[in-house]
Amino acid sequence: MLADGYADWSGSIILSRMSRSIQHFAVVSCSIAALTFGGAVASAGVVYQGSDYSDSSDLDRKARICDGEDDGRNAYVNYVNGDSSTLWRLNDENGAISSCYSNTNRQPGGIQKHRTCEPINAWPDACSAYHTE
């Protein structure tokens, strides 16, 4: 027995429970971090403006625009490729009717940044912030 009246083995049980709690905390913390950062990485290239969105595909070499709003205004994506500082525009030619629209040619140097826009008559176009790939 120890001076405080507890046997030696009870201290081992307390330490064992503390170790298990620390292990559980570490596992839960790592799981939360993986979900948080893993989810962010999976959707990092998608940029929304309302229900319209743009992203890049083919290893960030093709821009894609998706018009998610049946409002009579075709969404478009502004993007800059890696070989120039020229701002390019790609329109969603079919509007919200069906699938997304992407450019058919790979962009030299890849897509460096892009944003989703929607034209608004007599007003500045509604655009998201740029996303840098």
Based on the fold, state whether residues 99 and 127 are members of the same structural domain: yes
Tally the domains of the chain.
Answer: 2
Residue 3, pLDDT score: 53
> Which structural domain, as residue segments, surrounds residue 1?
1-42
Is pTM beyond 0.75 here? no
Based on the fold, state whether residues 107 and 56 are members of the same structural domain: yes
Burial label, 52 (beta-carbon count in 10 A; 0-12, 13-18, 19+)? buried
Based on the fold, state whether residues 86 and 28 are members of the same structural domain: no
Based on the fold, state whether residues 51 and 99 are members of the same structural domain: yes
68 vs 82, higher pLDDT: 68
Residue 45, pLDDT score: 85
Cα 124 to the center of its chain, rounded Å: 26
Quick: pLDDT tens for 44-78. 489 999 999 999 887 778 899 999 998 889 999 99
Based on the fold, state whether residues 51 and 102 are members of the same structural domain: yes
CATH assignment of the domain containing 70: 2.60.40
